[in-house]
Amino acid sequence: MTTKHKVAAVQMTSTDDVEKNLTVALQLANDAISDGAQLVVLPECFAYLGPEDGKFKIAESLPEGGPILARCQKLAVERKAELVLGGFYEKTPDPRRVRNACVHIAADGSVRAVYRKIHLFDVDLPDGTVLKESTGVEPGTELVVTDTVFGKLGLSVCYDLRFPELYRKLVDQGAIALAIPSAFTLTTGKDHWHVLLRARAIESQCYVIAAAQTGRHFGTRVSYGHALICDPWGTVLAECGEGEGYALASIDHAVLTRIRTSLPSLKHRRL
């Protein structure tokens, strides 16, 4: 039984052009699969990152889905690989509100798990960026750990990264890796992205697969990028540079076991 499984974290620049976004996202995922990835994580807002009203028009019901979900499922089936759709706009009964969902698609095309983003990004940043995600997004309430080709994967989305208690609970549910698909702003990303991702990996003793948006999307909205994968020691195994692409690395059970055995901090918890 192999202890290693390759995974990928996609980096792209989504805009308000859904067709172009899907073409790029699925081509990068396909390339990563050709490079050996058995599971590929797409970033938050992979299908759309534009003016707020646009997300209501493209939202789809889950698990039934629509054209966006169907295209992703088709790739999973054709390439016999798993996909994690990092930020999928899910319909709600309210036409002016969606959920920001992280969707795990199995290699047979079925929707294996859906996590709805719990922590919503309502900020007023020093550079003048004002974002109020809660205006049009309904928060989730349930934690989700899903079974993948390599073991249990904890699902989260972007701003969740700042709340370590969420990841503690994912570890308690058996997670050995954490999906953190994001659209981190340039302002916050340059100071916090690497620090927070490595901290979550170290304290959770989990692999971290962090897909990312990068570059300018519309207006003044710019994302930091640097999609990466790090191991349970906090070592960055692979990281994207400028532009679109993907980070590729292996989930290695032997490494995970060695770290959790030699430094058993998860067993030393008292609170």
- Residues annotated catalytic, as ranges: 44, 117, 158
Residue 41, beta-bridge partner list: 9, 84
Rounded Cα distance, 109 and 76, in Å: 6
Amino acid at 83: L
For the chain, the residue count is 271
> What are the strands, taking DSSP E only, across 193-264?
207-210, 212-218, 221-224, 228-230, 236-239, 245-252
Of 72, 11, 18, which Cα lies nearest the Cα of 43?
11
Residues 6 or more apart whose Cβ sits within 8 Å of residue 56: 89, 95, 96, 98, 136
